[in-house]
């Protein structure tokens, strides 16, 4: 009996992405500013301040007045922030 829930569909999508990544066929995705804001929970000014400080991934130019961020770099930044926040002081 096939599952029809959104969670199972999401699981299949994530499994397909993982499969593609392990086959060396990783999908390159670009996130626009509002998507980055939603994903990392920071405001526009905070993101650009961190880019200027060198503590956040730099956007790439998509056109004369358009930029985007590489999704994998944003995900890595999030993983690094999580790891740093969970370190135990020695």
Average confidence (pLDDT) over 21-25: 57
Fold category of 28-85 in CATH: Recoverin; domain 1 (1.10.238)
Average pLDDT over residues 41-61: 98
Q: How far is 82 from 48, CA to CA, in rounded Å? A: 20
Sign of the Cα pseudo-torsion (38, 12, 82, 68, in order): negative
d(CA 13, CA 73) in angstroms, rounded, equals: 20
pLDDT of the residue at 27: 79
Q: Give residue 74's pLDDT.
A: 98
**Statement: the pTM of the whole predicted model exceeds 0.75:** no
Tokens of 86: 């969970």
Least confident range from 20-34, 35-49, 60-74: namely: 20-34
Are β-strands 60-63 and 30-31 bridged in parallel, bridged antiparallel, or unpaired? unpaired
């Amino acid at each position: 009996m096939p599952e029809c829930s959104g969670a199972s569909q999401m699981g299949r999508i994530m499994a397909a992405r993982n499969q593609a990544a392990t086959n060396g066929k990783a999908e390159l995705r670009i996130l626009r500013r509002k998507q980055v804001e939603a994903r990392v929970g920071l405001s526009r000014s905070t993101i650009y301040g961190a880019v200027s400080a060198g503590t956040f991934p730099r956007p790439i130019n998509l056109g004369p007045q358009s930029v985007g961020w590489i999704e994998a770099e944003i995900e890595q930044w999030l993983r690094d922030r999580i790891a740093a926040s969970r370190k135990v002081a020695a």
